[in-house]
Chain A
Amino acid sequence: TQLLEQSPQFLSIQEGENLTVYCNSSSVFSSLQWYRQEPGEGPVLLVTVVTGGEVKKLKRLTFQFGDARKDSSLHITAAQPGDTGLYLCAGNPFRDSNYQLIWGAGTKLIIKP
């Protein structure tokens, strides 16, 4: 069974601090996606990483795909209250389809003003 472990499960920090959340697996993925989900809403795609070692930046968010395509990290610089939410990673084990994603349980992030 393929699993994606996200850590930490919960993180509460002050505005302005930096943080990193992790998404780890023993399985190789064709690609990996990061989503943010706010209470009462559906997940919103932030980024897709495809190549081992790939780094993508989205303003203050930096996403990295591990060299072996088994893990990924999300780093937020100078966190702001608007970053609060549930961050989900989802791995795609297949090259030619993207719907049978393996989902992590999420990191619940709270940024205190």
Chain B
Amino acid sequence: NAGVMQNPRHLVRRRGQEARLRCSPMKGHSHVYWYRQLPEEGLKFMVYLQKENIIDESGMPKERFSAEFPKEGPSILRIQQVVRGDSAAYFCASSPRRTGQGWNSNQPQHFGDGTRLSIL
């Protein structure tokens, strides 16, 4: 997991507040992926970003959730007006380019250690 930095590691918010989760990709990586993991479940893809572009946000709820990856600085996953159901671990992964280019090129994504979001 070395290299992909997520902060905060734990975040507690009350219902209705905003949550901001940050992800700094590995050095040299320009592609970022956000996932959500509920207890006892696998990861669910949320959004894929390159610098200043959202490539695929098909896994992200259309309301209250947004993501960005600015030219400078970390990628941010923002959840507005949080509800109890938003409680989960949110993981960020990065890769130097879009993974899987070419049928046998399954370049791995490197994961951060996640942000555990708890909604009171």
Contact = CB atoms under 8 A, between A and B. Distances in A.
Interface in A77-113: 88, 90, 92, 94-101, 103-106
Interface residues of B, number: 30
Interface of A: 4, 9, 30-31, 33, 40-45, 48, 50, 88, 90, 92, 94-101, 103-106
Contacts of B108: 33, 45, 48
Nearest to A9: B40
Given A90-B43, A99-B45, A105-B42, 7 more contacts: A9-B40, A30-B100, A33-B106, A41-B1, A42-B112, A88-B42, A95-B103
Contacts of B33: 99
A103 B43 CA distance: 6
A41 B114 contact: yes
